[in-house]
């Protein structure tokens, strides 16, 4: 691939692939925090608060992005680098600016002119080479590549400046201070100082952080919310999430160094519970989770981690109590309910299967994009002797993963065993028809 084509393709891939290239981290408490952070900003942006979703990506770099629709992807490294919740809200406000301003849909306005410049330079350069001017032709190609890349990068920087301005407006309209946005850019600016003299501002997709601070400060300081304190409850939830995230994504030795055992704060115990669990010390992990519950007995997320530790330590029956409390305390959060369903199945007690089916059906009704929940529901149906609905759950999972062949076959099997015209039968019919259409389209393209 030519250098410019590679550069432009890489830029486009930033819009379309990161969510698939790295693993998605799903956690009930983290997603609830993101929803609380985002709702007032989404409303200020004229978007439906429940339609906008923030997705956590397991990546240590400091980054966030949008790829279309109303989903914002935030790297775990950004959460670890942020000092407070307000800084993350500043980043989310910026990404909402990309969504509200339609930047993903407008991406062609940057790539097409750049590609046009590149193709023209290639034609001229090759023609010059054919006429015997090899060195001159190579110079035309190189100059064209540089001009085309510069054209695209300039377009990208304008979009980033526009998203910054929109994000600042959303913060002000939502009554949220912009101090976090400014302080986070200043943090990034310090990182840029490490490469002083090596960064060409005209060869970046984003403006330099110092320029962003300069452009935004006056507008953010003029907002009535500038001196408004950040929500203390949200800040507390952020500290908890950041601690548990470190315990989950970092090496246990790193977490245990950052949160030594003499630290008995909630954050330290939360982080260590995950670190000990990852390191293969279930008793120590359980002791930390028990200490958390002793401090806040009715916290559903503390109950969740204890249930998860017990379940994965091979004690599913012991996990049922905390997981039931967690499910009830979180108002049947789909992720937590799925873990409860898993524990009920793992007891190998047939008396628990009706509850497992009930809990898991509720979970998939609330979040139908969780393949693990569909797998567990299929298992519960299979062990209950309901092979038709087990096949329907398999069809749902296969459809979600793009496996049209399995989806079609499983859905047809489900239709044969489920009473006609019931809701489950109609759903199986829908999957069978959609999957078969996908298979037919694929065959036509191969001809």
More confident residue, 262 or 101: 262
What is the structure's pLDDT at 134?
65
Count of residues making up the chain: 447
Task: Grade residue 203 by pLDDT with cuts at 50, 70 and 90.
Answer: very low
Task: Grade residue 320 by pLDDT with cuts at 50, 70 and 90.
Answer: very high
Task: Produce one character per residue of 127-159: b if its CB has 16 or more CB atoms within 10 Å, e if not.
Answer: ebbeeeeeeebeebbeebbbebbebbbebbbeb
Closest CA relative to residue 203, chosen from 373, 7, 434, 426: 7
Instruction: Pinpoint the residues of the chain covered by CATH 3.30.2010.10.
Output: 3-222
C-alpha triplet 135, 137, 141: angle, nearest 5°: 115
Mean pLDDT across the stretch 111-140? 55
Distances in Å between the Cα of 330 and the Cα atoms of 156, 312, 315, 358, 369 are: 41, 21, 22, 17, 19
The neighbour count for residue 52, using CB atoms within 10 Å, is: 23
- Cα–Cα distance for residue pair 375/23, rounded to 1 Å: 19
Mean pLDDT across the stretch 231-251? 97
- Cα–Cα distance for residue pair 315/320, rounded to 1 Å: 9
pTM of the model: 0.84
Q: Indicate whether 41 pLDDT > 90.
A: yes
- Cα–Cα distance for residue pair 141/121, rounded to 1 Å: 6
Task: Grade residue 156 by pLDDT with cuts at 50, 70 and 90.
Answer: low
More confident residue, 339 or 165: 339
What is the structure's pLDDT at 148?
45
- Cα–Cα distance for residue pair 423/299, rounded to 1 Å: 36
Q: Indicate whether 10 pLDDT > 50.
A: no
Mean pLDDT across the stretch 379-407? 97
What is the structure's pLDDT at 195?
60
More confident residue, 181 or 113: 181
Structure letter (DSSP) for residue 74: E
What is the structure's pLDDT at 446?
74
Mean pLDDT across the stretch 336-348? 98
Q: Indicate whether 106 pLDDT > 70.
A: no
What is the structure's pLDDT at 123?
53
More confident residue, 21 or 186: 186
List Cβ neighbours of 147 (8 Å cut-off, separation of 6 or more): 117, 121
Farthest-apart Cα atoms in the chain, separation? 85
Range in 13-22, 89-98, 323-332, 370-379 the model is least confident about: 13-22
What is the structure's pLDDT at 344?
98
According to CATH, the topology of domain 3-222 is Zincin-like (3.30.2010)
What is the structure's pLDDT at 12?
32
More confident residue, 64 or 114: 64
Range in 121-130, 182-191, 351-360, 373-382 the model is least confident about: 121-130
What is the structure's pLDDT at 127?
57
Mean pLDDT across the stretch 63-89? 93
Task: Grade residue 444 by pLDDT with cuts at 50, 70 and 90.
Answer: confident
Mean pLDDT across the stretch 25-48? 96
What is the structure's pLDDT at 198?
55
What is the structure's pLDDT at 397?
96
Transcribe 10-63 into DSSP letters: HHHHHHHSHHHHSPEE--HHHHHHHHHHHHHHHHHTTS-TTT-EEEEE---S--
Q: Tokens in use for 286?
A: 């359980």
Mean pLDDT across the stretch 142-165? 62
- Cα–Cα distance for residue pair 151/120, rounded to 1 Å: 14
Task: Grade residue 375 by pLDDT with cuts at 50, 70 and 90.
Answer: very high
Closest CA relative to residue 270, chosen from 235, 305, 315: 305
To which H or E segment does residue 434 belong? helix 423-446
What is the structure's pLDDT at 9?
34
Mean pLDDT across the stretch 20-38? 88
Task: Grade residue 69 by pLDDT with cuts at 50, 70 and 90.
Answer: confident
């Amino acid at each position: 691939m030519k250098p410019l084509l590679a550069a432009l393709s890489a830029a486009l891939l930033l819009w379309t692939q990161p969510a698939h290239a790295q693993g998605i981290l799903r956690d009930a408490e983290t997603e609830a925090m993101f929803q609380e952070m985002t709702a007032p900003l989404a409303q200020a942006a004229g978007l439906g608060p429940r339609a906008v979703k923030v997705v956590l990506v397991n990546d240590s770099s400091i980054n966030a992005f949008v790829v279309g629709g109303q989903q914002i992807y935030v790297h775990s490294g950004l959460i670890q680098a942020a000092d407070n919740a307000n800084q993350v809200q500043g980043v989310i406000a910026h990404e909402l600016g990309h969504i509200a301003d339609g930047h993903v849909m407008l991406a062609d306005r940057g790539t097409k002119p750049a590609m046009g410049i590149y193709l023209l330079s290639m034609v001229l350069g090759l023609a010059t080479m054919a006429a015997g001017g090899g060195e001159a032709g190579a110079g035309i190609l190189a100059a064209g590549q540089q001009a085309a890349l510069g054209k695209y990068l300039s377009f990208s920087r304008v979009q980033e400046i526009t998203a910054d301005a929109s994000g600042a407006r959303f913060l002000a309209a939502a009554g949220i201070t912009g101090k976090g946005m400014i302080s986070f850019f200043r943090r990034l600016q310090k990182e840029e100082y490490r490469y002083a003299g090596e960064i060409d501002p005209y060869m970046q997709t984003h403006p330099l952080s110092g320029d962003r601070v300069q452009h935004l400060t006056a507008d953010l300081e003029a907002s009535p919310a500038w001196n408004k304190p950040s929500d203390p409850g949200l800040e507390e939830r952020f500290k908890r999430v950041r601690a548990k995230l470190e315990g989950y994504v970092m090496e246990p030795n790193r977490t245990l160094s950052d949160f030594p055992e003499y630290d008995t704060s909630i954050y330290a115990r939360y982080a260590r519970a995950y670190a000990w669990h990852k390191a293969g010390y279930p008793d120590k992990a359980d002791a930390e989770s028990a200490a958390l519950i002793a401090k806040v007995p009715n916290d559903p997320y503390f109950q969740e981690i204890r249930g998860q530790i017990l379940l994965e330590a091979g004690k599913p029956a012991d996990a049922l109590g905390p997981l039931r409390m967690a499910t009830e305390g979180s108002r049947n959060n789909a992720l937590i309910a799925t873990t409860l369903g898993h524990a009920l199945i793992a007891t190998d007690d047939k008396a628990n299967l009706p509850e497992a089916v009930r809990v898991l059906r509720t979970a998939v009704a609330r979040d139908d994009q969780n393949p693990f929940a569909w797998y567990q529901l299929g298992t519960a149906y299979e062990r209950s002797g309901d092979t038709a609905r087990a096949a329907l759950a398999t069809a749902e999972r296969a459809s979600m993963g793009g496996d049209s062949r399995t989806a079609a076959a499983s859905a047809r099997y489900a239709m044969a065993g489920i009473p006609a015209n019931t809701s489950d039968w109609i759903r199986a019919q829908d999957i069978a028809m959609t999957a078969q259409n996908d298979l037919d389209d694929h065959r036509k393209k191969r001809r």
